[in-house]
């Protein structure tokens, strides 16, 4: 769970990986207390009868962690059978409630979330051109009727092309689609995926968490002081901080920037000096 939270709080866009990762996370939790054949027999993991005791693993193999398992074995006589049964009932109850909450809160059945999976090149074989059509209907400003057919053709090209004919597959979706936008048709030298890549860039701008907004508020708290409370100043500093790709200690201002800064300082001092 910590790895999942860390990945989706990062700066990089992960929206195309979200449905795949929440499905993997659910499968991971189910695997801790539900029999593997029960899990694999359900294409839709939310339909797994995880609360059915007959579908759950026995006490001797249910996941409780190696240290807890060792402790129960070493101190079995002191603990007693009744306490041991209570421990395993609590473990089953814990896993059941976790999975129940995931099924209720996570967007497993959201069609848009599923369709956004086409952004992930590793999972593109499971998508059809209908996914792009549904996304266009969901976000009509991202395309026009004139280039809809071109979009479908480019999507089919993307789906049917072998991996060797595409940029290297990576979880860095921004990088992958950046390379896709540079692809040229071998014969006519035109942009091969120009319409599809524009759609992908627009969809990748969708936030996959509230991490960006939380980071922005954190920056404001650090920037804002009693002597630095003007909104124009705060907005300028925040914009600079967010868009700076390097550490501030490595920043080398140009002579023009230094000149403007000195002029602004002089004007400020003259305006606020005591007469």
**Domain that includes residue 76, residue range:** 31-105
pLDDT tens digits for range 16-31? 888 988 999 999 999 9
- Look over the chain and give the mean of its residue pLDDT values, rounded to a whole number: 87
Q: What is the value of pTM for the model shown?
A: 0.73
Domain assignment present for residue 149? The answer is yes
- 26 located within any domain: no
Helical (H) or strand (E) element with 22: helix 18-30
Residues 33, 58: Cα–Cα separation, whole Å: 8
Give the pLDDT band of residue 214 (cuts 50, 70, 90).
confident
Q: Is the pLDDT of residue 116 over 80?
A: yes
Report the pLDDT averaged over residues 154-179. Answer: 91
Find where tokens 């009744």 sit: 82
Residues 70, 146 within the same domain: no
| CB 152, CB 134: distance < 8 Å | no
Q: In angstroms, rounded to a whole number, what is the distance separating the alpha carbons of residues 92 and 62?
A: 9
User: Is the pLDDT confidence value at 229 over 80?
Assistant: no
Question: pLDDT tens across 55-79, in order?
Answer: 999 999 999 999 999 999 999 888 8
- For 36, the 3-state DSSP assignment is helix
Contacts of 55 (CB under 8 A, 6+ apart): 34, 35, 38, 48, 49
Q: Are 154 and 170 found together in one domain?
A: yes
Q: Residue range 113-124: average pLDDT?
A: 90
Given a cut of 90, whether residue 177 has pLDDT beyond it is yes
| Number of neighbouring beta carbons within 10 Å of residue 169 | 11
118 in the same domain as 95: no
Where is the domain boundary, 105, 129, 144?
A: 105
Domain count across the chain: 3
Q: In this structure, what DSSP letter does residue 34 have?
A: B
Inside any domain, residue 3: no
Measure the CA angle with vertex 194, ends 192 and 9; round to 5°.
120
Lowest mean pLDDT, pick from 25-34, 35-44, 144-153, 238-247: 238-247
């Amino acid at each position: 769970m910590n790895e999942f939270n860390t990945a989706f709080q990062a700066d990089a866009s992960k929206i195309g990986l979200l449905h795949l990762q929440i499905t993997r996370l659910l499968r991971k939790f189910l695997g801790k207390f539900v029999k593997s054949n029960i899990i694999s027999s359900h294409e839709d993991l939310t339909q797994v009868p995880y609360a059915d005791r007959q579908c759950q693993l026995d006490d001797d193999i249910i996941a409780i962690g190696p240290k807890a398992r060792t402790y129960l074995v070493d101190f079995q006589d002191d603990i007693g059978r009744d306490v041991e049964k209570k421990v395993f009932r609590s473990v089953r109850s814990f896993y059941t409630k976790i999975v129940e909450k995931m099924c209720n809160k996570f967007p497993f059945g959201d069609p848009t979330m599923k369709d956004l999976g086409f952004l992930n090149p590793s999972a593109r074989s499971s998508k059809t051109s209908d996914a792009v059509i549904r996304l266009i209907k969901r976000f009509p400003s991202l395309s026009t009727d004139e280039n809809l057919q071109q979009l479908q053709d480019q999507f089919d090209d993307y789906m049917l092309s072998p991996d060797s004919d595409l940029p290297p597959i990576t979880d860095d979706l921004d990088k992958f689609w950046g390379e896709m936008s540079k692809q040229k048709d071998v014969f006519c030298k035109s942009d091969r995926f120009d319409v599809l890549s524009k759609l992908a860039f627009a969809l990748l701008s969708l936030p996959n968490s509230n991490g960006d907004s939380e980071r922005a508020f954190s920056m404001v708290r650090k920037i804002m002081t009693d002597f630095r409370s003007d909104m124009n100043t705060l907005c300028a500093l925040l914009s600079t901080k967010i868009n700076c790709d390097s550490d501030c200690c490595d920043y080398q201002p140009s002579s023009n920037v230094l000149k403007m800064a000195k002029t602004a300082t002089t004007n400020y001092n003259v305006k606020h000096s005591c007469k």
